[in-house]
Structure 1
Amino acid sequence: MFHLLWGALFVLVHFGCFLLCYRFFGKNGLYAWVGIATILANIQVTKTIEMVGIVMTLGNTMYASIYLTSDLLNEKYGEKEARKAVWFGFFVMLVTMVTMKMTLMFTPQETDFAQSSLETIFGLLPRLALGSLTAFFVSQFLDVKIYSYLKRIFPKPNQLWLRNNGSTAVSQMVDTLIFCSIAFIGEYTLDVWLQILVTTYVIKFVVSMASTPFLYIARGFKFKEEAA
């Protein structure tokens, strides 16, 4: 019960911070949020918890907020701005991985206490790093394309939930399939791999659906500089 309540608060805080970042900093805040979420999601994912009988990793909320951000950019500013945010997120992820890998190569001084912790967080195996980068790159650009397509088919303001959840449902499935395939095929038996795939996708999509009200709130924000 504690984990459920704490998990609900965890989600509210993440998406609430997303709204504050946009409210205070406008469109630039959305790009900043992509950078923040990309780094934090890859740190949080190293921690595993159990909720409602399912073992899961943290990071799903932060990762889902990247889809939320690109969809909002697409909705209010167009596909070009959404694509720019994806490139920015990919750049942040790549820079973080490269620089932290280089950091770990330095021999720690004998009184150092951080090396082992940094290795746990940033010492991703090559397959995990490759899976993470590839999944992010493919799924995020796919999300932008699908959202733009759905926006043409379902252009009404009250169909925002359909555009958002429709694009996210497909792109997150692709994201999960790519990552689990690159990272885990050959490491686990097929039935275990399939269980990881399904549970990971379900958790991601449920969190993404929970973000929909925040997308409606953010769409209603008005900024003086954009009205000019």
Structure 2
Amino acid sequence: MNRPQTYPVHQNAVRAFQHLDTITALFVAVLLISNVASTKILVAGPFTFDGGTLLFPISYIFGDILTEVYGYRRSRKVIWLGFISAILMSFTFILVGALPPAPEWQYQSAYDQILGFTPRIVTASLIAYFAGEFSNSFILAKLKVLTHGKYLWIRTMSSTLVGQLIDTAIFSAIAFANVVPTQLLVMLILSNYIFKCGVELVFMPVTYALTRWLKQQEQEDYFDVDTNFNPF
């Protein structure tokens, strides 16, 4: 059985990549925008979900691409950068909300109602994403070694099904427990999970194309053979 085309695996070398910074910036942007957008609950046909769900699944696609091309260790660094950025955003919103508004500014209550809810959303997002994304990256990296780099669609969907289930359940429970009725909470979890996994499936051709292009551009196809998977 022929092994698929691979590129040199640099286990210990420090390399400069052309596109890693761009993917990192986009990943962080998706995470932050999703956190703020999650303060609104939407209804679309039979589905009920928070606004962040429209964009958040893209972060898992980025996570798949990062792990597939650059390996778990570099993906772990990007995830932590996203966490730190989300904490900074939350702290800023809290500080701005606590400072007294100018006398002529009449929108303090609106600010508190929308962005005042964000710290709880961010807390939920951080805990859920920590568990979900690291599970996603771990499963994808392990499956890549087991399948010798073949069957990318099986690896991405398998890791997403597990990671998104963990992420969605934890996020919804922390963000909306005692905020929305239990029936609505269950609907949120189911709708979010189905939608997020559906996005992964629909964008599979894009994931394939980007992964193939990045491997060629970066001359990298990392296999996590001896990787330490400790998220810390």
TM-score with structure 2 setting the length: 0.77
Alpha-carbon distance in structure 1 between the residues aligned to 2:174 and 2:79: 21
Structure 1: gaps of 5 or more residues: 1-24
User: Could you say what the CA RMSD is over the residues aligned between the two structures, in angstroms?
Assistant: 2.5
Check 1:81–1:188 CA distance in 2 against 1; reply closer, same or farther (3 A cut): same
- Counterpart of 1:85? 78
- Counterpart of 1:96? 89
Aligned residues: 203
- Counterpart of 2:210? 218
One-letter code aligned to 1:132: S
Question: Is 2:195 the counterpart of 1:203?
Answer: yes
One-letter code aligned to 2:155: R
Output one character per residue of 1:48-87: Cα deviation in whole Å (capped at 9) or x when no partner: 3332232332222421111111111111111111111111
Alpha-carbon distance in structure 1 between the residues aligned to 2:110 and 2:194: 30
Of the two, which has the highest radius of gyration? Answer: 2
The 8 Å contact of residues 140 and 156 in structure 2, kept in 1 or not, is answered as yes
TM-score with structure 1 setting the length: 0.78
1:48-127 paired onto structure 2 within 5 Å? 48-112=41-105, 115-124=108-117, 127=120
Alpha-carbon distance in structure 2 between the residues aligned to 1:178 and 1:65: 19
Alpha-carbon distance in structure 1 between the residues aligned to 2:120 and 2:159: 27
Alpha-carbon distance in structure 2 between the residues aligned to 1:114 and 1:216: 46
Alpha-carbon distance in structure 2 between the residues aligned to 1:47 and 1:188: 12
Question: Is 2:154 the counterpart of 1:149?
Answer: no
Q: What is the identity percentage for the equivalent residue pairs of Structure 1 and Structure 2?
A: 26
Output one character per residue of 1:169-222: Cα deviation in whole Å (capped at 9) or x when no partner: 101100111122223444555444322221221122112222222111111225
Structure 2: gaps of 5 or more residues: 1-17, 221-232
Alpha-carbon distance in structure 1 between the residues aligned to 2:111 and 2:148: 46
One-letter code aligned to 1:162: I
One-letter code aligned to 1:27: L
Question: Is 2:167 the counterpart of 1:179?
Answer: no
One-letter code aligned to 1:73: L
Bigger helix fraction: 1
The 8 Å contact of residues 172 and 205 in structure 1, kept in 2 or not, is answered as yes
